[in-house]
Amino acid sequence: MSEGPTTSRIFVDADACPVKEEVFRVATRYGLQVFLVSNSALRVPRNPLFQSVVVARGQFDGADDWIVEQITASDIAVTADIPLAARCLEKGARALDAKGKVYSPESIGDALASRELMIHLRAMGELGTGPAPFTARDRSTFLQRLDDLIQALRRTRR
CA 42 to chain centre: 16
Q: What pLDDT score was predicted for residue 67?
A: 96
Classify 9 as helix, strand or coil.
Answer: strand
Q: What residues does each domain of the chain span?
A: 9-157
Q: What does the alpha-carbon distance between residue 64 and residue 145 come to, in Å, rounded to a whole number?
A: 22
The stretch 59-86 carries a mean pLDDT of: 91
Q: Which pLDDT belongs to residue 1? A: 36
Residue 133: the pLDDT is 87
pLDDT of residue 3: 47
Rounded Cα–Cα distance for residues 9 and 90 (Å) = 17
Instruction: Supply the pLDDT for residue 139.
Output: 95
The residue that leads in pLDDT, 36 or 158, is: 36
Full-model pTM: 0.84
User: What top-level class would CATH report for the domain 9-157?
Assistant: alpha beta
Q: For residue range 48-63, what is the model confidence (pLDDT) as tens digits?
A: 999 999 997 666 678 8
**115-139 average pLDDT score:** 73
| pLDDT value, residue 47 | 95
For residue 6, name the pLDDT band (cuts at 50, 70, 90).
low
Average pLDDT score over the chain: 86
Q: What is the DSSP string of 54-86?
A: EPPTT-TTHHHHHHHHH--TT-EEE-S-HHHHH
